[in-house]
Structure 1
Amino acid sequence: MKTFFADFKHFSIGHIAPDLYRSKKYKVSQWNVRHLPAPKSDSHRTYMGGNYVLITNA
Structure 2
Amino acid sequence: MAEHLGFSDLYYFSRQFKKHTGLNPTEYRKQIIGRTVKEMIDCPQPNETELHKGTPLS
Would the TM-score normalized by the shorter structure come out above 0.5?
no
| Greater helix content | 2
| Greater strand content | 1
TM-score by length of 1: 0.25
| The structure with more radius of gyration | 2
TM-score by length of 2: 0.25
